[in-house]
Chains A and B, each alone.
Chain A
Amino acid sequence: MNIDEKGFNQDFQFEAPMAPKRTRLQEFWLLFRQNRLAILGLFIFILFFCCAIMGLFITSGPDPLFDPAMIRLQEKLRPPLAKPNLDSLRREEIPCLGFYLMGTDDLGRDVFARMLQGAWVSLTVGFVAVGISVLIGIFMGGVAGYFGQHHIRVDHILMTILLISGAGLVMAHSIRFGAVLLCLTLAYIFYSFFTQNRSGEKSVPSWAKVFRKSAVSVDTLIMRIVDIMLCFPSFFLILTVVALLPASIYNIMIVIGLTSWMGTTRFVRAEFLSLREQDFVAAVKTLGASNFRIIFRHMMPNAIAPVLVSATIGIATAILTEAGLSFLGFGVPPPHATWGNILSDGKNFIFDAPWLTFIPGIAILIVVLSFNLFGEGLRDVLNPKLRERH
C-alpha cells in the first residue's frame, strides 16, 4: 500500500509539502495585473500622491519655488503656456518655469502653483476623512460583531442618558442643574464599580432589580445607531455642520469622517459574525488568547478586504464632497487654494478663461476616477466570488 502510494506520487509528480508556491501578495499581484484599468488607476494614484507631496514642499515655506498667493494684477487671465510680460514684472514675480504652465487666474496668480497646493488639500481630506471613518467603522463593527451578544442593563442606559443630558445642560448654560445630574451619574458609576468588585448581588434590594435587567444587546444598539445615522441625507448634514462650524480644513475632514462610517461598520460586523463561529477563532480562544489579540491579530486580517475596498472608494467620495463644499463656498478659507474653489472662482470667467474651470475639473475627475478604478480592481481581486472563471 505504502509502495503503491509512493509510485502514485512519483507518477504524477506531486511536490511533497503542499504549501502554496506563491505568497499571498504575489498571488494578489498576479490577479491584479490582469485588470488593466485598475493598474491605470494605481499608476495615476501614485502620480497624484507624488505631486501632492512635492506640491506641499514647493508651494509652502517662507520663500516657495511656486508661490500660489503671489498676485500679479497686470498679468491676469493669461492662458496656459503664456509667456509672462517681463517688463512689467518685478524680479521675484517672474514664475520660475519662465512661463505660466496652466495660465493665471483673475488676480494673476499662477494656476499651476494653486493646483499643486490644492492637490495636497484633496489628498489629506481624502485620507484623513476616510481614516477617521474606517477607524470608527472598525471599532463599532468589531464591537457589534464580536461582543454583540452581550447585553446592556437598564441602569447603564439610564446613566448614559443622564450623563449626556447633564453634559448638554452644562453646555446650554444651565450649569447648576446639569452639574447636579453629572455628579449623580458619576456617583452611581463609582458605586456600581465598587459593588461589582465585591460581587455583591445580594446587596441589591428587590425594587432595584428592575434596573439590573438587560435591555438591549450591544449589537442591536449599534445597529440602531447606524440606522439613525443613515436617516440623515449625508451631503446636507455635512453642509449644515460645516456651515455652522468655523471654516477650517480640519473641520471638513472630521465631519466627512464622522458621517461616513456606517458602511464600514456594516461590513466589519457581517464579517465578524461569520468569522466568530469559525474553527480557528475557537482554537485561538482555547489557547487562551485575549479578546484584543483575537480581534486584531486573527480576525481583523480576514475581515479587512471589504473595508479596504470601501475605503478606497470612500477616498474618491470624500475628495468629491470636499470639492463640492469648496465649490459652494464652505470649507477651506480663501487664500488657501483647493481644486473646488479654483473651479468656483473660475466659473465666473468660463467664456473668457475656460482653463480656470477645465483644469481643476479635469484634475478632480482624473483623481477620483483613478481611486474608483483602483478600488473596483481591488474588489475583483479580493473577492474570489467575483473573479472570472477561466
Chain B
Amino acid sequence: MLSFIGRSVVQKIITLFFVSIVSFLIIHIAPGKPSQVDPMNPKFTPEVVERFRKEFHLDKPLHVQYLYFYKDLFTGETVSWKDNQSVLKKIWERFLNSLPLFIVGTIITWTLSFPIGIRSAIFRGQFYDRSATFLSYLLISIPGFFFAYVLIIFVVNQFHVPVIGMETFGIGDGASLPHIFMDRIWHLLLPSVLGATGGIAVLSRYVRSQMLEVEGQDYIRTARAKGLSPEQVHYRHALRNALLPFVTMFGLILPGLIGGSVIIESIFSWPGMGRMAYEAILARDYPVILTVNFVSAILVLAGTFISDLLYLIVDPRIRL
C-alpha cells in the first residue's frame, strides 16, 4: 500500500513536470506575441513594449522564461500581465464563484442519474428503459449553448425571473433576505442544470450497464430462487455490488471543478473559472492561462490518485 502510494506520487510528479513543459511550449511557440494584442492602442509605443518585455522576462530565451515562470508560480508571486494582480488570488476568487455551480451540478447529476439508471436496468427493454435511453442520447447530443438559450427563453417567459449573472443587478439594497436567497437560487439553477445534463446522460447509462451486469450474476439468481422479494433482490443484493465502481468516480469528478464550462459561464455571464480562462486566452494573458492549466493538471492527477486509492480501500479483491 505504502509503496503503491509512493510510486504513484513520484509518477504523477514526473507527469506534472512534463505537462508544465508541454503547456509552456504550446503557448510560447504559437505565433503571435502578447505585446501585439492591441496594436491600435496609441499608448503602445515601442518603448512601452520594450519595457513590458523586460518586465516579464520576455526578452530572455525560452528555458530561462520557463524557470522564471515556475519559480514565480511556486512562490506565489505570479502576476497577471493584464492587471498586475496576483494570479493565485484571482483564481481563488473565481474558484469560489464556480464552486456553488459545481456543487449543485454534481448533486443534480448524482441524485438523478442513479434512480434513472437503476430503474431502466430493472425494466430493461420496456418503454421506460427505451425512452430513458433515447432521452439520454438526446441530452448527450444537444449542444450546450443551444440548450442554454432554449432554457433561458422558457424560464424567462414562464416564470418572469432574471437568470443572467450571479444575482440580479442591484438586488442587494432594500430587498428582504428570502428575496435575495430565491434570487440567487434562480440564478444558480439554470447553469448548474446545464452543467449537469451531459453528466446525467452519461452516468445514468453507466449505472444501467453496471446494474445489468450484476443482475446477470449467479448470486442474483440464487437470491431470487430462495424467494426474496424483488425489492430485496434489486436493492440489497444487486445495487450494493453495482455501486462499487462509482465510489472511484468521486475522484474523477474533481477535474470538473476547473475545466467545467467555458461556454455556459460565458452565456450566463457567470464570473467563474471558465470565463476567466476564456478572457485570459483572448487577452493572451499567459501567466493566467498557464496557471489554470497547471492547476487543472494537478486536479486531474489528484483525481486519478484518489480514485485508485478508493478502489483499493473499497474492493478487497484488488491488492497491488
State the A residues within 8 Å of B (CB).
37, 165, 168-169, 171-172, 174, 224, 227-228, 230-237, 239-241, 243-246, 316, 320, 323-324, 327-328, 343-344, 347, 350-351, 354, 357, 360-362, 364-365, 368-369, 371-373, 376, 388
Q: Is B30 an interface residue (CB 8 A)?
A: yes
Q: B138 — which chain A residues lie within 8 A by C-beta?
A: 365, 369
Assembled-state Cα–Cα distance A86/B158 (Å): 39
A343 touches B145 (CB 8 A): yes
B134 touches A169 (CB 8 A): no
A172 touches B30 (CB 8 A): no
A365 touches B26 (CB 8 A): no
A241 touches B15 (CB 8 A): no
B149 touches A328 (CB 8 A): no
B259 touches A235 (CB 8 A): yes
State the B residues within 8 Å of A (CB).
14-16, 18-19, 22-23, 25-32, 61-63, 125, 133-134, 137-138, 140-146, 149-150, 153, 255, 258-259, 262-263, 266, 274, 277-278, 281-282, 284, 289, 292-293, 296-297, 300-301
A372 touches B141 (CB 8 A): yes
A233 touches B259 (CB 8 A): yes
Assembled-state Cα–Cα distance A234/B289 (Å): 14
Q: A228 — which chain B residues lie within 8 A by C-beta?
A: 15, 18-19, 22
Residue in B15, B31, B281 whose Cβ sees the most chain A Cβ within 10 Å? B281
A357 touches B29 (CB 8 A): no
Contact of B31 among A172, A246, A376 (CB under 8 A): A246
A240 touches B15 (CB 8 A): no
Secondary structure dominating the interface of A: helix
20 A-B Cβ contacts within 8 A? A172-B29, A227-B15, A228-B19, A231-B16, A232-B23, A232-B297, A233-B255, A235-B262, A236-B296, A239-B281, A245-B30, A323-B145, A324-B145, A350-B149, A354-B153, A364-B143, A365-B138, A368-B142, A371-B141, A376-B137
Secondary structure dominating the interface of B: helix
Q: How distant is A61 from chain B, measured CB to nearest CB, in Å?
A: 30
Closest chain A residue to B209 by CB distance? A386
Assembled-state Cα–Cα distance A228/B301 (Å): 10
Residue in A228, A320, A361 whose Cβ sees the most chain B Cβ within 10 Å? A228
Q: B15 — which chain A residues lie within 8 A by C-beta?
A: 224, 227-228, 231
Assembled-state Cα–Cα distance A368/B198 (Å): 14
A241 touches B266 (CB 8 A): no
Assembled-state Cα–Cα distance A11/B67 (Å): 83
Once A241-B30, A324-B144 are accepted as A-B contacts, the answer to whether A236 and B149 lie under 8 Å apart by CB is no
Closest chain A residue to B26 by CB distance? A241
Q: How distant is A379 from chain B, measured CB to nearest CB, in Å?
A: 11
A372 touches B22 (CB 8 A): no
B146 touches A243 (CB 8 A): no
Assembled-state Cα–Cα distance A207/B62 (Å): 32
Q: How distant is A328 from chain B, measured CB to nearest CB, in Å?
A: 7
Q: A171 — which chain B residues lie within 8 A by C-beta?
A: 29
Assembled-state Cα–Cα distance A355/B29 (Å): 42
Contact of B32 among A37, A172, A244, A357 (CB under 8 A): A244
Q: A347 — which chain B residues lie within 8 A by C-beta?
A: 149
